A and B are shown apart, each in its own frame.
Chain A
Amino acid sequence: NAGVTQTPKFRILKIGQSMTLQCTQDMNHNYMYWYRQDPGMGLKLIYYSVGAGITDKGEVPNGYNVSRSTTEDFPLRLELAAPSQTSVYFCASSYSPGWSNQPQHFGDGTRLSIL
């Protein structure tokens, strides 16, 4: 059971470049999330999705875009990479928002450096 899979694991970008962080889950979860984690800090929500075709902004959405064309996949797009976007990015999924013993499951992260 793969759970939540993120690719790539590491990436270095130049300022102004673009890239897509991939996230896929095989648990048939409706809800998916993107977080960023800066050194020594907790996770901050970038975007989330409650189902295919539906996305919404989180706490720190500026500079990012998402799409959700399928239940399984939730890619995160950086259009014009900036040094402030250097971080570790985590994707997560959950069955429902009701939290009835259904916590979010996390991938192992993408470590992104913008130089």
Chain B
Amino acid sequence: GESVGLHLPTLSVQEGDNSIINCAYSNSASDYFIWYKQESGKGPQFIIDIRSNMDKRQGQRVTVLLNKTVKHLSLQIAATQPGDSAVYFCAGSAESRLTFGEGTQLTVNP
């Protein structure tokens, strides 16, 4: 079955720097990937998604890159702000069900 994992459990960056959060997946049948942000005491909040037939997708201050050859995706956050501090999850979709990774805690230092 699908397994989705993250390379680092924690990431600390300086305010204004760019952040890169990585994720690996195992199921080649995954056709859709999503990044979620989860703040303390809250449910996951959708950030950005990408279909498996795409390599890159950009949103407001965020970019997701997908490398199907090595089954890897990343979330890039430009000009990281204190409000970006949260846990970030990647999730892969296969057969209409999501499998979540374990999350990366992003801390933004002033």
Chain A residues with a Cβ under 8 A of chain B? 4, 35, 40-45, 48, 58, 90, 92, 97-99, 101, 103-109
- Residue B34 at the chain A interface, CB threshold 8 Å: yes
For the complex, would chain A's binding face be called helix, strand, loop or mixed by DSSP majority? loop
Question: Are B49 and A43 within 8 A (Cβ)?
Answer: no
Closest B residue by C-beta to A90: B43
Chain B residues with a Cβ under 8 A of chain A? 4, 9, 31-32, 34, 36, 41-46, 49, 51, 89, 91, 93, 96-103
Question: Are A108 and B42 within 8 A (Cβ)?
Answer: yes
Question: Are A41 and B46 within 8 A (Cβ)?
Answer: no
Q: How far is the CA of A109 from the CA of B93 in the complex (A)?
A: 22
Question: Are B97 and A58 within 8 A (Cβ)?
Answer: yes
Residues of B within 8 A of A90 (CB): 43-44
Q: How far is the CA of A107 from the CA of B4 in the complex (A)?
A: 22
Q: A45-B97, A48-B97 are in contact. Are A106 and B45 (CB under 8 A)?
A: yes
Q: How far is the CA of A105 from the CA of B46 in the complex (A)?
A: 7
Query: Can you list 21 A-B contacts (CB < 8 A)?
Result: A40-B102, A40-B103, A42-B91, A42-B101, A42-B102, A43-B44, A43-B89, A43-B91, A43-B98, A44-B100, A58-B97, A92-B43, A99-B93, A99-B96, A103-B34, A103-B46, A104-B98, A105-B46, A107-B43, A108-B41, A109-B42
Q: How far is the CB of A57 from chain B (nearest CB, A)?
A: 11
The 9 closest A-B pairs by CB, nearest first: A97-B96, A106-B43, A42-B100, A103-B46, A99-B32, A43-B100, A42-B102, A106-B44, A108-B43
Q: How far is the CA of A103 from the CA of B36 in the complex (A)?
A: 10
Q: How far is the CB of B53 from chain A (nearest CB, A)?
A: 12
Residues of B within 8 A of A58 (CB): 97
Q: How far is the CB of A19 from chain B (nearest CB, A)?
A: 20
Residues of B within 8 A of A99 (CB): 31-32, 49, 51, 93, 96
Q: How far is the CA of A41 from the CA of B93 in the complex (A)?
A: 18
Residues of A within 8 A of B102 (CB): 40-42
